[in-house]
A and B are shown apart, each in its own frame.
Chain A
Amino acid sequence: MPAVSKGDGMRGLAVFISDIRNCKSKEAEIKRINKELANIRSKFKGDKALDGYSKKKYVCKLLFIFLLGHDIDFGHMEAVNLLSSNKYTEKQIGYLFISVLVNSNSDLISLINNAIKNDLSSRNPTFMNLALHCIANVGSREMAEAFAAEVPRILVAGDTMDSVKQSAALCLLRLNRTSPDLVPMGEWTTRVVHLLNDQHLGVVTAATSLITTLAQKSPEDFKTSVSLAVARLSRIVSSASTDLQDYTYYFVAAPWLSVKLLRLLQCYPPPEDGAIRGRLTECLETILNKAQEPPKSKKVQHSNAKNAVLFEAISLIIHHDSEPTLLVRACNQLGQFLQHRETNLRYLALESMCTLASSEFSHEAVKTHIETVINALKSERDVSVRQRAVDLLYAMCDRSNAKQIVAEMLSYLETADYSIREEIVLKVAILAEKYAVDYTWYVDTILNLIRFAGDYVSDEVWYRVIQIVINRDEVQGYAAKTVFEALQAPACHENLVKVGGYILGEFGNLIAGDSRSSPLIQFDLLHSKFHLCSVPTRALLLSAYIKFINLFPEVKGTIQEVLRSDSQLRNADVELQQRAVEYLRLSCIASTDILATVLEEMPPFPERESSILAKLKRKKGPGNLHLDLDENRKERSVNGGTADHSSTTSNAKAPMPPQASAVPVLRSAGPLFQVFASPTTSTDLLGLGSTIATQNSAPPASKGASLLVDVFSGNTAAFPVETPVAVGPVADENFSRFVCKNNGVLYENQLLQIGLKSEFRQNLGRMYVFFGNKTSTQFMNFAASVVCQDALQAQLNVHAKPADPTVDGGAQLQQILNIECVSDFVDAPVLNIQFRYGGTLQNIAVKLPITLNKFFQPTEMTSLDFFQRWKQLGAPQQEVQNIFKARHSMDIEVTKAKIMGFGAALLDGVDPNPFNFVGAGVIHTKTTQVGCLLRLEPNTQAQMYRLTLRTSRGTVSQRLCDLLSEQF
């Protein structure tokens, strides 16, 4: 036990601690602690007041006991008393106890705050430091409320000591992190920026951390920091290492500060002022030059510090993405690291290169390292580094080297770690598709993929092959031949059997001419795999067989024999049994003509975003992939909004995307049988019934109603007078559901169901309204008309095509509405329906969900453009903001889907805060086009959203804000 003098050390504490250490068992320790606690309690309870020393000692003991893991429920008052002591040691222990033990809801908090206030206003720098540290350590909301105004004042006051400034900056940083809303932005912000010029490097370091965080929140306020940071950085970089005495770390000048300054600069685009820009470039060049110099020390700390600065500089260069020479130099520098002995360096180099590869300037430079990267893939020992190598290969791939890279990845796949196989498979599949020049190569690649790593090939991959083969006539024959050959292997993966079954079923006729692959041989080959496969694959094969009957009438007998066998007709699996029975009947009954129609070749699939890409995105999160966003846009424009799968699949004419059903072979036959099996479904509108359930569960109907009361409060009263047709109230429960989507059920009562399908392009739209008669009797004198009230008449043209005056029982009637948006509008048109049912006249009025946002065209833009426009739209009437409580759970994916459905393009990576959503788009009307920017900031803790809309027209902003606010 170290000797302690009575003065500053505490003998009682030392004895107690050594007692505890000497305890032989847990029980003994607990006994000793109980004894000590009793002693302290009696001391605190005792009548005579304790002096500061013993108070400090006992509080210390309590702290020690607490840190051993025991509960402490007293002594807080004594600790608070210590705060008012004038001795440093006593004050320090008091603050320590409070930082560790006092929780934010304690009733002592006001006393503590008072003591802290006293210390902050004292002139003693050590006391001020203690108080600031305490605020930062506790960092609760109460603390923030009490001191959020005080701390900035201390930070920028002229007479504050350097060490206090340092603490104040860090304290403010902490408060800003825990409760950002409480830290006010004031005139102090400009003065904080000037701390970057401070003499004391410690202050500069602390201030840089603070400014970086603040600048991410409000970049505008701290724009001036760029020039200061550049100046400071250049002073550090160009200084001789001896200039900075204390802040030179193993011959590197102020590495931490440099890193922080470089980080700060990454919050901003490259400086526009030429001089500053030149100076920054110079700095970065110096850093890169220094990396080339021989190391001044062999110590690992030296190289670590140097490399830290270097990597941060490189990420700044990548961030700016404007200086081709720097980018290339950075790339070369990273290239050197690729072969470095240090694993961490290799990892970082690969990671940075990944981002470099996406820059147009350095893409070529990155490509020169392909051999090294491939080598790393093969020889690297650390799996995480290999993973990065795969990422980099993926990022650097383009048309010129795709074949090489895909080949390398394929050969690596055989030995790759199980953990990353699936990802590699997806990447290979994407690259092969994206850069395929001839599709025979693509088919070969994917089949190899399935052969090497069949287990890791997800369904999306083989769906995609089939989509592509079906859409490209030129490869169909080759594909059929290749899969036929691949299936010859004695053991092949089930996915291969699936692809083989599908392709031979569709295009087996293309290779049937060859005697080696005659129809019977093809069939026998497929059937030899049948018994080894799982139920879904067997189902697919059965469908392939029925397709064979159509393609090759000569094998009909054989196949019927197979279908007729007990193992099929009486299969335990319902799906297989049903298929066998139905296919057998179909092949027996139907004439060849009917067979040919039913089993017609699949029509081409619509071009859409590769489902594989979507899967990879899901797997990796958006940040890691640098995909051209065009694909996204393409998908949207083709499908006209978010595709509603259920409605497309149920439509027998529409092509069925393979992933929608387990067995994609039979396009038309499946639904056909469904109709046979269950005639009752015919009353359902277009199969929309299946979507009702999901819709009903989504937004509660009452919400929609309240919205409309709000929005149309001025109009609803006038309705009955102006429109004599509308007798009943206007139904609008389902209105708000359609704000973010285009299809679904609009209205339903016991007689009538109204379904909608709509599409919009620019300022034009078309809406298909389906009137379903739910009864068994005919509706007579059926008439539906659209009425636009008041101002809406001038703003919106809706033309309804005439429809039949009768609707049979159980049947449905379709009416087409053509819509044209003349100028921006607020109200919604009303659909009036009149018909005679059983002698009584029925009147129904429904609000048509034609809202302003339907005429949105999404616009992609970069972060820079976005904020530039955002600023341009800064006029007060152009911005509308709404803060509201979340009605539904705050799911990120759902929110994204809603914003996309709303029509705006969802911009990823624009907002510095990744949890915020940012969207952009243009509203097309006949007269004008209105650019819209929107920003949605969720606060998951408070379950609140803040929605900000800026458009060039105030009314539009207001209307869009109202519409969108109701959706969350």
Chain B
Amino acid sequence: MIGGLFIYNHKGEVLISRVYRDDIGRNAVDAFRVNVIHARQQVRSPVTNIARTSFFHVKRSNIWLAAVTKQNVNAAMVFEFLYKMCDVMASYFGKISEENIKNNFVLIYELLDEILDFGYPQNSETGSLKTFITQQGIKGQTKEEQSQITSQVTGQIGWRREGIKYRRNELFLDVLESVNLLMSPQGQVLSAHVSGRVVMKSYLSGMPECKFGMNDKIIIDKAGKGGVTNEAGKSTSGKQSIAIDDCTFNQCVRLSKFDSERSISFIPPDGEYELMRYRTTKDIILPFRVIPLVREVGRTKLEVKVVIKSNFKPSLLAQKIEVRIPTPLNTSGVQVICMKGKAKYKASENAIVWKIKRMAGMKESQISAEIELLPTNDKKKWARPPISMNFEVPFAPSGLKVRYLKVFESKLNYSDHDVIKWVRYIGRSGIYETRC
């Protein structure tokens, strides 16, 4: 189990140090600093073993979070905990920065006391934590309130307290996807996958029971079997249903029901939370196609032409498009011409960065650049790193569709129709690269 948790700033100074077990000494703090933060070579591995002690770290901007243990723990559990810890801190004081951590260190210690006991992770649900760990002073809670907190935290539905009331019952549902691609220069897809999340923000009264439906192939097929004939079901689902490779759910989802009926039903936490995560690899809609053309003119010149084509409905608009074209290490000068957007050679990153604010579907645009090279005595050839791309599109590249989200609240008198529901799809680029 986790023996201790340390938070460092970029210089390796300890901001927060909480030791849960005796086997972790003070020297562990220094060991991590010396061997990881100040290491000569950048340490890539998130798990480091130093003198029979394991250090699991994540980095948020300039802040290092490190969990330390001497035992053989489940590394996935430790990282899940660290991510959760980041979420909790972010929901309490916003961005995780040195400044914020220094200003809130009492709060962080309080949180650490609550969410880790003797190194075992406990309740880390922001919603319920916020009921008893507050940033203001304690407002003279009555005995009933206190006992309610106790029963809620220790009860079956730890993530939602009773007696929530809203005048307007409202629900926001975001499908956030990031699409990853590696493409050969000839346009052949070498690997592609989408990892997505369904994030909800719910403001609902009482203890509502929700049911979520999407165009998952298995569910559709199941439904198809019941009603329409198999043939017809396939022909309709051929386009609309998607194959989800794997998915994980928030703790509020009833897994038994998912296993038996493939239906996603849950009592939602109040506020914002992530309902599920999933991954797909089949039938991905690639929003952009990058066509590179690199020509070496002698030893001192390089001509690059890159065309991007948008590949979605013309009515939709992609945003925040950024194409990053790597330049050789001995670049001494760059001239860029582009029709659309702005392009600039960034010497510090060894790349030409081309930015376009907006682009509609089924369009194409191109950039051409002349790169001057300094002859070097090094015989090494330039490795030609891939061209990478960033963007945001208003649809789900996996093809996922929300079919329904029903809300049932039997005790209070509002029905599914009274709830205002908002659905939004956002597709972002993950690692979206094309070799050149």
Question: Closest CB of chain B to A36's CB: distance in Å?
Answer: 8
Interface residues contributed by chain A, number (CB under 8 Å) = 21
Chain A positions 902 through 946: 1 when the CB is less than 8 Å from some CB of chain B, otherwise 0: 000000000000000000000000000000000000000000000
Stretch of B233-241, B374-382, B419-427 at the chain-chain interface: B374-382
CB-nearest residue of chain A relative to B11?
A24
Would A35 and B377 count as touching, CB distance under 8 A? no
CA distance A26 to B38 in the complex (A): 9
- On whether A73 and B376 interact (CB within 8 A), knowing A32-B348, A34-B349, the answer reads yes
Question: Closest CB of chain B to A48's CB: distance in Å?
Answer: 14
Would B10 and A24 count as touching, CB distance under 8 A? yes
Given contacts A25-B62, A38-B347, A45-B372, 18 further A-B contacts (CB under 8 A): A24-B62, A25-B10, A34-B348, A34-B349, A37-B347, A38-B331, A38-B332, A38-B350, A41-B330, A44-B332, A45-B332, A45-B333, A73-B377, A73-B378, A73-B380, A74-B377, A106-B377, A108-B377
User: Which residues of chain B have C-beta atoms less than 8 A from A108's C-beta?
Assistant: 377
Whether B229 sits at the interface, judged by CB under 8 Å, is: no
CA distance A106 to B348 in the complex (A): 29
Name 11 A/B residue pairs within 8 A (Cβ), A-sorted: A26-B42, A35-B348, A38-B331, A41-B374, A42-B333, A45-B333, A45-B372, A73-B377, A74-B374, A76-B377, A107-B377
- A residues 18-34 near B (Cβ < 8 Å) are 24-26, 31-32, 34
CB-nearest residue of chain A relative to B39?
A26
User: Which residues of chain A have C-beta atoms less than 8 A from B378's C-beta?
Assistant: 73-74
Question: Closest CB of chain B to A73's CB: distance in Å?
Answer: 4
Q: How large is the interface on B (under 10, 10 to 19, 20 to 34, 35 or more residues)?
A: 20 to 34
Would B330 and A74 count as touching, CB distance under 8 A? yes
Chain B residues near A (Cβ < 8 Å): 10-11, 40, 42, 62, 329-333, 347-350, 372, 374-378, 380
What 8 A-B pairs come out closest when comparing CB atoms? A38-B347, A45-B332, A73-B378, A31-B348, A35-B348, A41-B332, A73-B376, A74-B376
CB-nearest residue of chain A relative to B350?
A34
CB-nearest residue of chain B relative to A24?
B10
B347 touches which one: A35, A45, A73, A107 (CB < 8 A)?
A35
User: Which residues of chain A have C-beta atoms less than 8 A from B372's C-beta?
Assistant: 45
Whether A110 sits at the interface, judged by CB under 8 Å, is: no
Would A42 and B42 count as touching, CB distance under 8 A? no
CA distance A308 to B36 in the complex (A): 43
User: Which residues of chain A have C-beta atoms less than 8 A from B348's C-beta?
Assistant: 31-32, 34-35, 38
User: Which residues of chain A have C-beta atoms less than 8 A from B350's C-beta?
Assistant: 34, 38
User: Which residues of chain A have C-beta atoms less than 8 A from B349's C-beta?
Assistant: 31, 34
Question: Closest CB of chain A to B194's CB: distance in Å?
Answer: 28
Question: Closest CB of chain A to B32's CB: distance in Å?
Answer: 16
Question: Closest CB of chain A to B243's CB: distance in Å?
Answer: 38
Chain A positions 50 through 88: 1 when the CB is less than 8 Å from some CB of chain B, otherwise 0: 000000000000000000010001101000000000000
User: Which residues of chain B have C-beta atoms less than 8 A from A42's C-beta?
Assistant: 332-333
Would B62 and A44 count as touching, CB distance under 8 A? no
CA distance A359 to B313 in the complex (A): 100
Whether A122 sits at the interface, judged by CB under 8 Å, is: no
Would A45 and B374 count as touching, CB distance under 8 A? yes
Question: Closest CB of chain A to B302's CB: distance in Å?
Answer: 13
Question: Closest CB of chain A to B301's CB: distance in Å?
Answer: 11
Whether A39 sits at the interface, judged by CB under 8 Å, is: yes
Question: Closest CB of chain B to A112's CB: distance in Å?
Answer: 13
Question: Closest CB of chain A to B285's CB: distance in Å?
Answer: 33
User: Which residues of chain A have C-beta atoms less than 8 A from B375's C-beta?
Assistant: 74
Residue among A25, A32, A38, A106 with most chain B CB within 10 A: A38
User: Which residues of chain A have C-beta atoms less than 8 A from B380's C-beta?
Assistant: 73
Chain A positions 747 through 772: 1 when the CB is less than 8 Å from some CB of chain B, otherwise 0: 00000000000000000000000000
Would A39 and B10 count as touching, CB distance under 8 A? no
CA distance A37 to B331 in the complex (A): 9
User: Which residues of chain B have C-beta atoms less than 8 A from A24's C-beta?
Assistant: 10-11, 62
Question: Closest CB of chain A to B29's CB: distance in Å?
Answer: 20
User: Which residues of chain A have C-beta atoms less than 8 A from B11's C-beta?
Assistant: 24
User: Which residues of chain A have C-beta atoms less than 8 A from B332's C-beta?
Assistant: 38, 41-42, 44-45
Would A41 and B331 count as touching, CB distance under 8 A? yes
CA distance A108 to B375 in the complex (A): 14
CA distance A622 to B349 in the complex (A): 59
CA distance A34 to B10 in the complex (A): 21
Question: Closest CB of chain A to B57's CB: distance in Å?
Answer: 14
Question: Closest CB of chain B to A37's CB: distance in Å?
Answer: 8
Would B42 and A39 count as touching, CB distance under 8 A? no
CA distance A107 to B11 in the complex (A): 42
Would A34 and B377 count as touching, CB distance under 8 A? no
Question: Closest CB of chain B to A105's CB: distance in Å?
Answer: 11
Question: Closest CB of chain A to B118's CB: distance in Å?
Answer: 34
CA distance A69 to B40 in the complex (A): 9
CB-nearest residue of chain A relative to B42?
A26
User: Which residues of chain B have C-beta atoms less than 8 A from A69's C-beta?
Assistant: 40
Question: Closest CB of chain B to A174's CB: distance in Å?
Answer: 26
Would A39 and B347 count as touching, CB distance under 8 A? yes
Question: Closest CB of chain B to A75's CB: distance in Å?
Answer: 9
Question: Closest CB of chain A to B327's CB: distance in Å?
Answer: 9
User: Which residues of chain A have C-beta atoms less than 8 A from B42's C-beta?
Assistant: 26
Residue among B62, B331, B332, B350 with most chain A CB within 10 A: B332
- On whether A73 and B62 interact (CB within 8 A), knowing A32-B348, A38-B347, the answer reads no
Question: Closest CB of chain B to A23's CB: distance in Å?
Answer: 10
User: Which residues of chain A have C-beta atoms less than 8 A from B377's C-beta?
Assistant: 73-74, 76, 106-108
CA distance A205 to B230 in the complex (A): 100
Chain A positions 105 through 148: 1 when the CB is less than 8 Å from some CB of chain B, otherwise 0: 01110000000000000000000000000000000000000000
Question: Closest CB of chain A to B38's CB: distance in Å?
Answer: 10
Residue among A39, A41, A42, A69 with most chain B CB within 10 A: A41
User: Which residues of chain B have C-beta atoms less than 8 A from A38's C-beta?
Assistant: 331-332, 347-348, 350
User: Which residues of chain A have C-beta atoms less than 8 A from B347's C-beta?
Assistant: 34-35, 37-39
CA distance A106 to B376 in the complex (A): 12
CB-nearest residue of chain B relative to A35?
B348
User: Which residues of chain A have C-beta atoms less than 8 A from B62's C-beta?
Assistant: 24-25
Question: Closest CB of chain B to A786's CB: distance in Å?
Answer: 66
Question: Closest CB of chain A to B369's CB: distance in Å?
Answer: 15
CA distance A174 to B349 in the complex (A): 43
Question: Closest CB of chain A to B308's CB: distance in Å?
Answer: 25
CA distance A35 to B380 in the complex (A): 21
Question: Closest CB of chain A to B149's CB: distance in Å?
Answer: 41
CA distance A45 to B330 in the complex (A): 10
CA distance A34 to B327 in the complex (A): 12
User: Which residues of chain B have C-beta atoms less than 8 A from A41's C-beta?
Assistant: 330-332, 374
User: Which residues of chain A have C-beta atoms less than 8 A from B376's C-beta?
Assistant: 73-74
User: Which residues of chain A have C-beta atoms less than 8 A from B329's C-beta?
Assistant: 37, 73
CB-nearest residue of chain A relative to B378?
A73
CB-nearest residue of chain A relative to B59?
A25
CA distance A41 to B334 in the complex (A): 12
Question: Closest CB of chain A to B21's CB: distance in Å?
Answer: 31
CA distance A357 to B165 in the complex (A): 100
CA distance A24 to B61 in the complex (A): 11
CB-nearest residue of chain B relative to A69?
B40
Question: Closest CB of chain A to B404's CB: distance in Å?
Answer: 45
CA distance A26 to B11 in the complex (A): 10
- On whether A73 and B330 interact (CB within 8 A), knowing A34-B349, A106-B377, the answer reads yes
Question: Closest CB of chain B to A27's CB: distance in Å?
Answer: 9
Residue among B62, B329, B331, B374 with most chain A CB within 10 A: B374
CA distance A913 to B79 in the complex (A): 61
User: Which residues of chain B have C-beta atoms less than 8 A from A76's C-beta?
Assistant: 377
CA distance A32 to B350 in the complex (A): 11
Question: Closest CB of chain A to B196's CB: distance in Å?
Answer: 29
Question: Closest CB of chain B to A523's CB: distance in Å?
Answer: 51
Would A44 and B374 count as touching, CB distance under 8 A? yes
Question: Closest CB of chain A to B34's CB: distance in Å?
Answer: 15
User: Which residues of chain B have C-beta atoms less than 8 A from A44's C-beta?
Assistant: 332, 374
- A residues 137-167 near B (Cβ < 8 Å) are none
Chain A positions 697 through 718: 1 when the CB is less than 8 Å from some CB of chain B, otherwise 0: 0000000000000000000000
Question: Closest CB of chain B to A232's CB: distance in Å?
Answer: 48
